[in-house]
Amino acid sequence: MKIGGAPMRKKSVVACEKIATGIQGFDEISHGGLPRSRTTLVMGGPGCGKTVFALQSLVNGAHHTSDAALFVAFEESTTQIISNAAAFGWDLATLTSTNKMFFLDAQLSPEVVKAGEFDLVGMLAMLGAKAKELHATRIVFDGIDVLLGLLDDPVAERREIYRIRDWLAKTGLTGLLTQKVGGVDDQHYNYLQFMVDCVVILGHTVVDGSAFRNLRIVKYRGSSFSGDEFPISLSTEGLQLTHRGPNELQYAVTTERVSTGIARLDHMLQGGYYRGSNVLVSGAPGSAKSTLAGLFAAAACERGEPTLYISFDEGAAQIGRNLRSVGIDLARHEKSGVLKIFSTRTRGPNIEDQFRDLRAKVRAHQPRCMVIDPLSALSMKVAHLASADAVQQFLDFVKTSEITVLNTSLMDGLNVDEATATGISTIADTWIHLSYVAQDGERNRALTIIKSRGTGHSNQVRELTLSDSGVTLTDVFVAQGRVLMGVARWECEQEEQAASERVFVATERKRLLLQLAQDEAIARIQVVKTEMEARSAELAVLALASSQASKHHVIDRAVLRKMRYADDEVAAIDRSDDVAVTIAAKRARRTRRL
Amino acid sequence: MRLYVAGTAPNSLRALANVRSICEAHYAFAHQLEVVDMLTDPVRAMADGIIVTPTLLKLSPPPTARVIGNLSDTAQVLFALK
């Protein structure tokens, strides 16, 4: 850029103008899209999606902003490109007939003889005329390396690239060049990267037999961008970045509870799982993880909430049959359309594609509750960062959609490392672990709540019992420092009941004996009391009798003295006992009269 | 024969000079040469499927042939026109 001159300087401070590609995620990491009126180079090995990337941005431009575009194909015939694009649902024929797109077949036939140096002046003139006619704003040079290779002269190659770049700047067209890398002349076109304004590299790596596609912006003149390698997926919807989403986590939280499908488990969690939370059910093979998932799904369907059951390596029919054996009927809900069961293979397409498919399913069915059984199938597929990333992104997507999701994860024992390797345990809001307790020749299932964010939860181990009538949780039996389950628990429970009955009987017997003794004592007291009353009555009679007798005796003596005329004592008797004397005298008189 | 050129671009001018000298030396008067400037007549070039300049088309006698470049490699040009 020229320095000096006021208008020039003014122009240089204007931020780089961009045009959106409409490719999901790309416009975000490039902070707006491709640089307008400039050259962008898309590099990548075979099958990385260079042509798709280029074509998709043109198609999106044509559809969204009604931008016309030119496509110069150096590598494939235009009929091939148009028919390949049909697989993505892009109707290029219509776009061509409505003058929204123009395809230039720029393949050089093998019969062409090269006799000396050539240039692109004529072609650019031709394209310029066409661009003017269509009012095109975008142009793609697909497989530019094929043509430049024919020049067989690095200096001439550079000159032609500069020519294209200058031509784009002059015409105001936004250009995309695609170029193969990874061949023998990998280094050969390195200079291209320095010449253009923006470089995007599409990669394709294989880890443990699984393919990972990714996209990276290497440079972007005059703009900030995210320089990380972002996973991408190629599907019938085209190329898209399955990017990590916004850094700031934002999702609505609620205190609403969702039933687990087991009343006692609801109680252990103080009402159930939180709506919109992520539940992890981990456990050894056969520890009833799927059953727990089935119960959750059935309870959701029962409430009439759309539910999605994603199963890996197990067909829908088999899930239905297995759950029916413990009294869970999913077929009914599937028929009514509330429940959708989606079974797929673990070792299916590449993991990004798999999650993209799952996203599509989620968008189509709009579930409120979801089951992924087992999630570990996906994360175990490859011990690769990208897979963990994909799992995490998917769960993040589910969470922001406010879907309550129950994931099962296969693990032997409580190997925390394994859980954190996939990052699931950190995302999980509630983590229930199912384990086996082997004892006295049997294996029993034990349920523990390892964590449950934002809610109190029971710290007790419960025994999970399955029967054809359903699933129940039972308190485990702790005896002599041992946790007993299964038959041992049942026996102990019986024994305990018998013992308590024995104690009850013994106590009752003792109580009755004591009661009897008590009653006897009371009766005895009554007898004694009656005897006492009888005696005291007798005593009273006796006392009366004796006092009367003595009085009679005194009176009689006084009478006797009187009769004897004994005077020494009479006065005293008269003074003290007038009445008595009178009575005695009367009696004496009466006696005498008789 | 038809030669597509791009205005006064160096390669185009060189090609024009080269084709004239080759024709004069090898075909004398038994040839017809039409020169089309792509800058002024892009539609025609497109119809002929011209991509790079300069391009020389041999239209008759059959088979037709196509030579790209500034035609400095006389042996190649003669091989194609044969």
Span A258-298, pLDDT tens digits = 888 888 888 888 888 888 888 888 887 777 888 888 889 98
Whether residue A122 and residue B14 make contact (CB cut-off 8 A), yes or no, is no
Q: Check whether A243 has a pLDDT greater than 90.
A: no
Chain B residues near residue A122 by CB distance under 8 angstroms: 4-6, 9, 12, 38-39, 45, 50-55
Is B6 in contact with A122 (Cβ distance < 8 A)?
Answer: yes
Residues of chain A contacting residue B65, judged by C-beta atoms under 8 Å apart: 111, 113
Question: Is there a contact between A50 and A202 (Cβ–Cβ < 8 Å)?
Answer: yes
pLDDT greater at residue A92 or residue A570: A92
Inter-CA distances, B72 with A113, B19, B26, B53, B82, Å: 12, 9, 15, 14, 17
Q: Give me the pLDDT at residue A540, please.
A: 93
Confidence at residue A536, expressed as pLDDT on a 0 to 100 scale:
94
Q: Nearest residue of A to residue B12 by CA position?
A: A118
Position A526 pLDDT exceeds 60: yes
Q: Give the sign of the dihedral formed by CA A194, CA A72, CA A86, CA A206.
A: negative
Written as one string, the DSSP assignment of A203-268 is EEEEETTEEEEEEEEEEETTS----SEEEEEEETTEEEE-----SS--------EE--S-HHHHHH
Domains in chain B, number: 1
Residue B13 contacts A, CB cutoff 8 Å: no
The reported pLDDT for the residue numbered A245 is 56
Taking the Cβ of residue A109 and every Cβ of chain B, the question of whether any pair is shorter than 8 Å is answered with yes
Higher pLDDT, A4 or A484: A484
Say if residue A152's pLDDT is above 50.
yes
The model's pLDDT over A107-119, given as tens digits with 9 standing for 90+, comes to: 887 778 888 888 8
Q: pTM of the predicted model, to two decimals?
A: 0.62
Contacts of B77 in chain A (CB under 8 A): 113, 115
**Chain A residues inside the 8 Å CB shell of B67:** 112-115
**Chain B contacts of A112, Cβ < 8 Å?**
66-68
Alpha carbons A367 and A339: distance in angstroms, whole number: 9
Assess whether pLDDT exceeds 80 at residue A537: yes
pLDDT of residue A584: 65
The span from the CA of B11 to the CA of B45, in Å, is: 17
pLDDT digits (tens, 9 = 90+) for A380-413: 544 455 566 677 777 878 888 888 988 887 775 5
> Strand A307-312 vs strand A39-44: parallel, antiparallel, or unpaired?
unpaired
* Residue-wise pLDDT tens digits, A216-228: 888 888 888 887 8
Nearest partner of A276 among A305, A247, A302, judged by Cα: A305
For residue A251, name the pLDDT band (cuts at 50, 70, 90): low
- Rounded to two decimals, the ipTM of the complex is 0.89
Write the CATH number for B6: 3.40.30.10
Helix, strand, coil percentages (3-state) for chain A, rounded to 5, are: 45, 25, 30
Does the CB of B50 have a partner CB in chain A at under 8 Å?
yes
Helices and strands counted in chain B (H then E): 3, 4
How far is A196 from A162, CA to CA, in rounded Å? 9
**Length of chain B, please?**
82
Q: Report the alpha-carbon distance of residue A48 to residue A203 in Å, rounded.
A: 6
Mean pLDDT over residues A1-23, rounded?
58
Eight-state DSSP code of residue A188: G
DSSP summary character for residue A341: E
In 3D space, the residue among A107, A104, A38, A27 whose CA is nearest the CA of residue A64 turns out to be A27
- Phi/psi region, residue A5 (left: phi>0; alpha: psi -120 to 50; beta: rest), is left
Q: How far apart are CA A289 and CA A275, in angstroms?
A: 20
Indicate whether A188 pLDDT > 70.
Answer: no
DSSP H helices, A46-189, are 50-64, 78-86, 92-97, 121-134, 144-151, 154-171
d(C-alpha A445, C-alpha A486), whole Å? 9
Which CATH architecture describes the domain A257-475? 3-Layer(aba) Sandwich (3.40)
Closest by Cβ to B79, choosing from A104, A113, A121? A113
Confidence of residue A327 (pLDDT cuts 50, 70, 90): confident
What local confidence, expressed as pLDDT, does residue A527 receive?
A: 95
Q: What is the pLDDT of residue A196?
A: 84
Q: Closest to B52 (Cβ–Cβ): which among A109, A119, A130?
A: A119
Task: Using a CB–CB cutoff of 8 Å, tell me whether B8 touches chain A.
Answer: no
| Mutation target among A75, A119, A142, A157 for the B interface, most CBs of B within 10 A | A119
Query: Mean pLDDT score of chain A, rounded to an integer?
Result: 79
Alpha-carbon distances, residue A205 vs A46, A51, A210, A214 (angstroms): 12, 18, 8, 8
Answer whether CATH 1.20.120.140 is correct for domain A15-110+117-241: no
Q: What is the domain range of residue B31?
A: 2-81
For β-strands A462-467 and A470-475, DSSP reports them as antiparallel
Region B43-69: mean pLDDT is 82
Q: How much is the average pLDDT of A253-258?
A: 82
CA–CA separation, A586 and A11 (whole Å): 162
Residue A3 pLDDT grade (very low, low, confident, very high; cuts 50, 70, 90): very low
Token duo for residue A538: 């007798």
Q: Quick check: A110 contacting B, CB < 8 Å?
A: no
